Amino acid sequence: MVTQYKLHLQTLVLLISLVHLCMPVCVDIQSDTEAIVGKAMKLTCISCLKREEVTVKTFVKWLYTPSPTKGKNISYLIYEHNTNNSNVDDNPFKDRLNWNGSKDLQEVSIEIRNVTYNDSGLYTCEIRRVFGFELYTPVFEVNKTINLTVKEKASDDTTAIYSEIMMYVLLVFLTFWLLVEMVYCYRKISKSDEQAQDTATNYLAIPSEQKDNPAAPVTE
């Protein structure tokens, strides 16, 4: 249900971007926090670039902290991605992780295949960017966490249902608004063409004598 809601949200963002082309393409969307046993789970991590004209190198690390057991709280490096290479270290997720990020590395998401109950825990997405300027190279770092819960089946979320309904309403409204705008523009253009055609027709209907000898002004 939450995944469908995010899909509708992305569709809404696409429609808005088509109407307002000046708006940024990158949109920061929060990750789902509920996974289903045996299914694939995408851990979404997005950090939009604010200086696209500057050369930047991006380094990404994903850390996993299992649910606390016997007072222990240990984090594991489960995935690392940089501009030169990608690698998956030896960890509980070996052969079950896929890179799901974008080419420009604004989205640095990963996907877990065949989720198990042991995958519950805290996931941390660490992003480190080094910007290239002529005189100095500033570094930008951001960390995002996802507290993942694994369940046997998806739970019915009333809030998500209402949000999905509202999303459908907004999509219908935007589609109708775009249609009205298109009809209005078409009618406006057609009316301008008709007025230009009427003016040309009226001009052609005037006798040539009147065109050559316009009426003299009336004097008292």
What is the tens place of the pLDDT at every residue in 89-134? 677 788 899 999 998 889 999 999 999 999 999 999 999 998 887 7
At the fourth CATH level, which superfamily is domain 29-154? Immunoglobulins (2.60.40.10)
Which spans in the chain are helix H?
A: 2-19, 158-205, 208-212
Q: Given a cut of 90, is residue 62 above it in pLDDT? A: yes
Other Cβ atoms closer than 10 A to 144: 18
Distance (Å, rounded) from C-alpha 73 to C-alpha 67?
8
What are the sequence ranges of the domains in the chain? Answer: 29-154
Distance (Å, rounded) from C-alpha 146 to C-alpha 123?
5
CA atoms 139, 86, 143, 73: torsion sign = negative
| pTM summary value | 0.59
- Higher pLDDT pick, 27 / 145: 145
Task: Give 44: exposed, middle or buried? Use CB within 10 Å, 0-12, 13-18, 19+.
Answer: buried
CA atoms 171, 176, 180, 185: torsion sign = positive
CA angle 99, 105, 109 (to 5 degrees): 35
